[in-house]
Structure 1
Amino acid sequence: MKGTKLYSILNMKCPQCQKGDFFVAHPYKLSTMGEVKKRCAKCNQKFELETGFYQGSYYVSYGLGVALFVAVVVLNYIFRETITPTSLMVSFVLALIVLLPLLYTLSKIIWATMFIKYDKNAITNYQITLEDDTRIKN
């Protein structure tokens, strides 16, 4: 499954090399929820391709929200005998509160994988030679 976009999304790894972490921390660590690293530590891929790049992830987030609400309705019809508008609303709100951090982070990584392609040689292409290393002073 490595080398697919789904691998990057499910493991929340760099879309280019699939080895470096995409996010600063776990989605449910609320202080850094959804915070994307500037670059991949393994292949140096820049994650924010342009200013405001992740504003497009709102469309993905909307789609994930609609899918969540459809799933909640279907599950209510399967597991409950009677469904009231109030019970549906409570189910929607609870599902949204519990899954909000996950949906937020998923929307960002899905958006990024749409634009960053996998390159199996990304890490080997990013090797700094001693001549190019700016930390060494001549």
Structure 2
Amino acid sequence: MLKETKLYSVLFMKCPVCREGDFLKGHPYKFSSMGKVHKRCSCCNTKFELETGFYQGSYYVSYALGVALFMAVVLLNYIFREELTPSSLMISFVVSLIVLFPLLYALSKIIWAQFFFNYDRTASKKSKVTSA
């Protein structure tokens, strides 16, 4: 049942249609393939790029994730530090952004894809039938 949710697809970076094939070509922190999306799903053969420049819309999602990250950094600094200075806050921002940038980049693409693809529990079965 968890596999049918969009959250499963986002967390495990799986195909938004069949939830089985990998969405990205590599791990988000593997810099040679960072953020590269497969052209098609290996299980259900869904084409991931609907049109040229399709993932440019993921910049909006990336912006929202960045704002959420910065809000979390401010909150954590406020909770765990006695004295909150602008320089310590800026250092926290920069360090968290450097560490989490590859993950945010990959998450923004998979979240963007969730807006345009719907789960189809028979998708992987259809592909196996047509390829046999």
TM-score tier (shorter): over 0.9
In the alignment, structure 1 segments of 5+ residues that lack a partner are 131-138
**What is the count of residue pairs matched by the alignment?**
130
Deviation at 1:59, TM superposition (A): 0.1
Matched position secondary structure for 1:9: helix
What is the SS of the residue equivalent to 2:32?
helix
Tell which structure's C-alpha radius of gyration is larger: 1
Matched with 1:49 is 50
Cα drift, residue 124 of structure 1: 1.5
More helix by share: 2
Please state how far the C-alpha of 1:128 moved relative to its aligned partner.
Answer: 2.4
* Number of the residue aligned with 1:60: 61
1:109 aligns with 2:110: yes
Instruction: Using the aligned pairs only, state the percent identity.
Output: 68
- The amino acid that maps onto 1:128 is T
Matched, 1:8 2:9: yes
C-alpha separation between the residues in 1 aligned to 2:85 and 2:99? 21
Distance between the aligned counterparts of 2:131 and 2:83, measured in 1? 68
Across the aligned residues of Structure 1 and Structure 2, the Cα RMSD in angstroms comes to 0.9
- Going from structure 1 to structure 2, the CA distance change for 1:124 and 1:96 (only over 3 Å counts) comes to same
CA apart distance, 1:123: 1.1
Residue 37 of structure 2 corresponds to residue 36 of structure 1 = yes
What is the SS of the residue equivalent to 1:7? helix
Residue 97 of structure 1 is matched in structure 2 by 98
The one-letter amino acid of 2:52's match is: T
Which portions of structure 1, spanning 4 or more consecutive aligned residues, are displaced by more than 3 angstroms? none
TM-score, normalised on structure 2?
A: 0.96
Report what 1:23 is aligned to.
24
The two structures have a TM-score, normalised by structure 1, of 0.92
